[in-house]
Structure 1
Amino acid sequence: MSDGTKRTKKPEFQPANSINSDEFNNGSPERQISPVRTFENTLSLLAVKEKSANELRLSAYLPKRSLKQALCSKSLLNDPIFMNQHATLSSRHFYKELRFITQDDYHYWHERDWFVLTEYAKTFKTFQNMSYHVKAELVRHAAIVIPVLNQVYNSPDHGLDTVVFPDGTYYDRTHEPTRPAGLNRKKYQVLDLVLKPFREMEINFNEFAAFKAITFLNPDADVVTRSKT
């Protein structure tokens, strides 16, 4: 039953920087960029970032540098000359058969995913405008979840209990007694809370790119406050 109160739909937010000055000042609907188009443009941009990040992840390039050097330099993903020269598939990153992952493999992919995370982060203007300390806090906050998202989404489908890396190494529910109990629990959480939902929802590439960006630029991360304490 109606309570007599008139309800109005909240207008969709449209970023001011998505409209140039002429379009903003002209009231003609034909001259304005619709929220739908703005959304589609954003999705396309995020998809380009994700494609470049994955190409770099599959390459052999892995520099040795400090965190400060990594965060204060320009993003390699935004450098077309670099990407053309170095973002090519490494001979290590394909396989003919699977093999169970070792500690050295975990370390290898941890380093690669950490490197790609820092380059991915710098593609966002919001991130570029942060202080170094806030940047460092944000990438540390994302250091587990973003690599996990990459590993799960890019894993070939070998069932709901197996994550496969580009070099053919994999992990599943097999208990690894040489690893700390906490890392085994984390592995089971990845399978149950990330891999299974991803497969069930059948998310596409654009959806994944958007979800990853939202997860990285998490407004609830509270890194700004902690970085000042």
Structure 2
Amino acid sequence: MNNSQVDANLFAVSCPTCGANLQIDNFIGIVQCQYCGQNISVNPKIENVNNDKISNLFKLIENLGNNDNFTCYNYYCQILELDPLNIKAWLGKGETAISHATLLNPMISEALNAFGNVEKYLPEGNKNEYDEIIAFRIIELAVNFYRLSCQEYAEYFRSWGYDKSIYTQRIDIVLSLFDTVIKKYRSFASHKDTIKMALDLCNDVADYGGIPRQYKHELIIKALDYKKQLNNY
């Protein structure tokens, strides 16, 4: 965004999307372009300093690559403190959140919030630009969380005092992630495969020993619904 001072109280702001020239009050925050609706971050006094910091942080992330996702996640958070509308940083935050998720800290809300902000801050004409990437990452999140849940269940399900409802709650979370992709990203190239993954998950878990009978019944009903969706595809 380019800013130039007009008078003591107004700043001229150029919209990064449509190029319209706007005059706004001299304040720090977020305004909306009256022509295209794009959100614009306004911080005239420290914008140049922030741009240098953001560039340096992106370079640090690039140098780390996939070697330290936790550090990269923190760098993305720092970028977003400087520029809360940075789409690249929101996408990176969501992706790195998935990469260092654990059962104790699954990072699900952080990842979904980040991906939601990618879509929120995209210009109106490009709202679906990242659908394919986001859908793939949500499936990755679901699969990782399911894998961790199965590992814990296999280790502890025979232990005295282990609450099996914890496992079933986690399965519900995995299915909800699949459902998010199925319902929201219908143009996703692997949309049909996602439905099949959800169907297979229901059938596999229903066959496990030790799963409460009522929950098995719920999974069977869900499986029938997924099967119907596949047949109607």
TM-score (norm 1): 0.28
Larger radius of gyration, structure 1 or 2? 2
Higher helix share: 2
Higher strand share: 2
TM-score (norm 2): 0.28
Structure of greater relative contact order (alpha carbons < 8 Å, 6+ residues apart): 1
